[in-house]
Each structure stands twice: as C-alpha cells, then as structure tokens.
Amino acid sequence: MSAQTELPQAETSGSCCSPSGSCHSDGADATPQGAVTTVYEVTGMTCGHCEGAVSSEISELAGVSSVKAVAATGQVTVVSEAPLDEAEVRAAVDEAGYELTGAVKA
C-alpha cells in the first residue's frame, strides 16, 4: 500500500506582462449603478507590467471599484463611487512611477 501526498498547487494567474494585458482585469464590464467613470491620460506606460503597476496604485484609492489601464493608448479608465480628487489620482500614478497628464475631457 502506498501513501499519496497531494502538494498544494501554485496559483497560475499569470504575470502582469502576460499577453492578456493588465493583471487587474476582473472580466466584468458592468458599471455599478450610480458609479462615476473617469478616463485619465498617463504617460510612460509601455507594457502590461506598467498597466498593472498603475492599476494597483489607483485601486487602493477609497471608493475605486475598477481600473483598466491600456499602455497602447496611455489611458486609464477608473470607475468609482464618486468623483475622485485628481491630486490623489496623480499621487497614486506618481507612486507607480508614471505621470498623470490629466482627465480626458468628454
């Protein structure tokens, strides 16, 4: 009789530099009712890792429910419960190592 031992499987969620893009995509396209969507311009992003760094920092801001950064366009779409203080968003983007040039005017 032999004993089998199951080893825990490592999570294989991929890296920020995966072909699928940002590591913070939750697959949900629905915007919560009453939420505010703001698109920001960010300079310096060149790859999925950059997208993940920016997304991670902005996601930590109070009231943010989702962030989608796209290096190819330099745009970061943020969904939040209420309008965000641009200075706080700028500080988060700076912390990630990039530069916020401002919100895209609708």
pLDDT at 2 over 50: no
Of the pLDDT bands very low, low, confident and very high (cuts 50, 70, 90), residue 77 is very high
Q: Residue 27: inside a domain, yes or no?
A: no
The more confidently predicted of residues 10 and 56 is 56
Tally of domains within the chain: 1
Domain that holds residue 85: 36-103
Are 94 and 100 a contacting pair, CB within 8 Å?
A: yes
Whether residue 91 is contained in a domain is answered as yes
Bridge partner list, 42: 100
pLDDT in tens, 14-72: 344 434 444 444 444 566 678 999 999 999 999 999 999 999 999 999 999 999 999 99
Question: Is residue 5 in some structural domain?
Answer: no
Q: Is residue 70 part of a domain?
A: yes
Distant-in-sequence, close-in-space partners of 15: CB < 8 Å, separation ≥ 6: 23, 48, 49
Residue 2 located in a structural domain: no
- The phi-psi region of residue 23 (left if phi > 0; otherwise alpha if psi is between -120 and 50; otherwise beta) is alpha
Q: Cα separation of 72 and 96, whole Å?
A: 17
Whole-structure pTM over 0.85, yes or no?
no
> Residue 54 and residue 45: Cα distance in Å, rounded?
8
